[in-house]
Amino acid sequence: MALMKKCCFCWDLRIGGIVLGIFSTIFSLASIIYCVWMIVEMEIQNWRGRPVVQNYYQKRLEDEIILYRLISEILLGIGIFVHVAIFISSIFLVAGAKTGSKSRILPYLIFQWFGIIGTAVYCFFHGSTAVKEGRSNQGTITIAVGSIYIVLAFYFWFCILALYQTIQEGQRLNPRIREQQDRHAAYSPVQ
């Protein structure tokens, strides 16, 4: 039995799947652009050079900044690959929601988890580092926005899971009807 019958309390699950797939496609493209932009920005800051170190504490702070940038670039690089996978699986989600194919919806359900986990790790890492560096407003906003995104992403993931379950139940309850429709569509003179 599906977890829910409507997406966002008003749309049919198939329409919700199509809309969420389109939004996910747009969001994943924006995320890819953001990740690339942040990596380029960090590389420009590294390329500008380092100031002359006066004492031990400045050297330690400089080493922490270098380590922070390295970890951030690694997380952003992983984020690019994850969001490319989410972009492709979002296109499959739209096609699967239109045609009622559960096999096209499954990649979205898998890769969206990677996106949720990756966003959580990046937001909490970036936010806590900003708080540690004395930019508490920026860190708090980053953590708050990341938390809101995670809650919404979980809800939308459950909407798509409900669509997947509904399609699975429909195919299980009516396997002959589905086979006859496929057979008639394949041999129909009118296409």
Report pLDDT digits (tens) over 99-114: 988 899 999 999 999 9
Percentage of residues in the chain with pLDDT exceeding 90? 31
Side chain identity at 117, as an amino acid letter? I
CA distances for 44 relative to 32, 39, 47, 127, angstroms: 18, 9, 5, 22
What average pLDDT does range 132-143 have in this prediction? 80
- Per-residue model confidence (pLDDT) at position 71: 84
* pLDDT tens digits, one per residue of 73-87: 888 899 899 999 999
**Rounded percentage of the chain residues whose pLDDT exceeds 70:** 79
Residue 159 CB-density burial (10 A; 0-12 exposed, 13-18 middle, 19+ buried): buried
Predicted local distance difference test score (pLDDT) of residue 187? 57
183 pLDDT higher than 70: no
Confidence of residue 132 (pLDDT cuts 50, 70, 90): confident
Q: For 182-191, what is the mean pLDDT?
A: 54
